[in-house]
Structure 1
Amino acid sequence: MKRYQIVLAVFTFVLFSCHGQTSKNVQTITAAAFSEKIKATPNTPILDVRTPEEFALEHLDNAINVNWLGSSFTADSQKYDKTKPVFVYCKSGGRSKQAAAKLAALGFTTIYELDGGILKWNAAGLAKPSDKIIGICSQEYAELLNSDKKVLINFYAEWCAPCKKMTPYLLQMQKELAPKITIIRLNADENKTILQELKITELPTLLLYDNKELKWQHAGFISEDDLKKQL
């Protein structure tokens, strides 16, 4: 018993030591602070941990694509100086949080993670101004709401874990509730323009309209039962 208690004590000490090191090495900061830190530390790696397809659509200036979901994340990360700061971001913060923890475990001493990802970056007005419309425009979005039925808009992404959990019952509800409610799913990566105009900073996001008026809004996962209560 005594030996077991000693082993347990050592394990607990190591666990909390590692946790402390990770939280100490990783700083999750706002988009504005992230931008200022980048300016203050030039020539510092800015790691975009999204997929190559997402990276190709948009990314921060001078960012390097190191795919968290790829098989070579660890090897690619090891190319950089662990004693110097490194910046990490993704679309909404989920993957960058995991990537930052991994970098800390690999021995990186100063890791800045973008809170809320590139969605918060764009919402803060830090993206480069562009006249290019990606996906539907505001006029087309307004036309989606032109219905005598309630309209539920679902912004999602293929890489988003909560979105994937919700997809099966949302597709089923599209059929079952069709006589009363129109459910429209919009891929956030393919509709950047309207996403920015609506200031959506988290996925999934649900917007319920009645007579073109926004009646309810929800960000993050929601169960099928709880969603049906709102409809």
Structure 2
Amino acid sequence: MKQLILGVLLLFTLEAVMAQEKTTNLLPFETFEKKLLAAGPDPQILDARSGEEFIQNHVKGALNVSDEKQFKSIASKLRKEAPVFIYSIGNGRSAKLAAVLRALHFKEVYEFPGGLSKWIAQGKPVESTVGDGLSLAGFNEQITSEKLVLVDVGSRYCGGCKKLKPIVEKLAEENKDKLKLVNIEAYDNKQLTKALAVDALPTLILYKGKEAVWKKHGLSSEEEILTELNKHKI
């Protein structure tokens, strides 16, 4: 038993590289949704994010598993013969938790493809303690500018978003006479996230005259962003 617990703890501390490798077997979203519906009215859904994130937004019926203590309590009550569905922001923390359950011989373990970001972008419901945030009309006001407008949609909980933030802020400062930066906190602005079809974080959208001329999901380098800015006559 002691060895099993140590094994679980080891899996929980695996590097994100391993977690990302697990995501190569993700189901297409439509296939995943069919399996979730087929699981019946009370599916086993686990949220691998922090407790703070869970309180703000989560899928109805999900149980929060943010640490080893919670895991031991919840795992003992899960049915191994029934499917388990897991999500996080993207597929980082969910991949680690999925690896743990597979090691414990759960037969069917599925990750939400694209995580909660994709779920919200697809217009799926969440239970939330925060409002819908900025309206589309309010957003359109923010991107109305004679300058190029770079919209950075991210989350304060997202590792890739934290890496991207200083890059876009540096470019905005260096080109402030020609570039406006708009930051959008995705989970505080669910309706806008859906309207912009942001199904992964971070997402950059470049506007010129209120028209989206470039969109990129995932981490971007300074050189890549600068290339797009130059392409559109910054």
Residue deviations 1:122-169 (CA, integer Å, cap 9, x gap): 333432799x96110000100011111110000011221211111222
Matches within 5 A, 1:211-226: 211-226=209-224
The DSSP-based 3-state class of the residue aligned with 2:58 is coil
Question: Paired residue for 1:75, among 63, 72, 76?
Answer: 72
C-alpha distance in 1 between matches for 2:195 and 2:157: 22
C-alpha distance in 1 between matches for 2:114 and 2:223: 27
> Residue 78 of structure 1 aligns to which amino acid in structure 2?
A
Aligned to 2:53: 54
* Count of matched residue pairs: 206
Q: TM-score, normalised by structure 1?
A: 0.78
The DSSP-based 3-state class of the residue aligned with 1:151 is strand
> Residue 45 of structure 1 aligns to which amino acid in structure 2?
Q
Aligned to 1:41: 39
C-alpha distance in 2 between matches for 1:28 and 1:73: 25
C-alpha contact (below 8 Å) 2:57/2:187 kept by paired residues: no
1:172 aligns with 2:170: yes
Point out where structure 2 has 5 or more consecutive residues left out of the alignment.
1-17, 230-234
> Residue 75 of structure 1 aligns to which amino acid in structure 2?
K
C-alpha distance in 2 between matches for 1:76 and 1:28: 27
Question: Paired residue for 1:103, among 101, 104, 110?
Answer: 101
Residue deviations 1:163-206 (CA, integer Å, cap 9, x gap): 11112222222322211100111111111110001111011100
C-alpha distance in 1 between matches for 2:79 and 2:131: 38
The DSSP-based 3-state class of the residue aligned with 1:75 is helix
Higher Cα radius of gyration: 1
Judged with a 3 Å threshold, the aligned counterparts in structure 2 of structure 1 residues 78 and 190 are, in CA distance, closer, same or farther, namely same
Matches within 5 A, 1:65-144: 65-67=64-66, 70-72=67-69, 74-79=71-76, 80-127=78-125, 134-144=132-142
C-alpha contact (below 8 Å) 2:114/2:199 kept by paired residues: yes
C-alpha contact (below 8 Å) 1:157/1:189 kept by paired residues: yes
Q: Which moved more, 1:176-185 or 1:30-39?
A: 30-39
Dislocated runs of 4+, deviation >4 Å: none
C-alpha contact (below 8 Å) 1:27/1:112 kept by paired residues: no
C-alpha distance in 2 between matches for 1:48 and 1:96: 8
C-alpha distance in 1 between matches for 2:59 and 2:33: 10
Percent identity reads 33
Judged with a 3 Å threshold, the aligned counterparts in structure 2 of structure 1 residues 129 and 91 are, in CA distance, closer, same or farther, namely closer
| C-alpha displacement of 1:77 | 4.8
> Residue 223 of structure 1 aligns to which amino acid in structure 2?
S
C-alpha contact (below 8 Å) 1:30/1:114 kept by paired residues: no
The DSSP-based 3-state class of the residue aligned with 2:162 is helix
C-alpha distance in 2 between matches for 1:108 and 1:72: 19
Q: TM-score, normalised by structure 2?
A: 0.77
| C-alpha displacement of 1:224 | 1.1
The DSSP-based 3-state class of the residue aligned with 1:35 is helix
| C-alpha displacement of 1:112 | 1.4
Aligned to 1:205: 203
Aligned to 1:12: none
Residue deviations 1:26-73 (CA, integer Å, cap 9, x gap): 963234333332332234421011222222233222111112xx3535
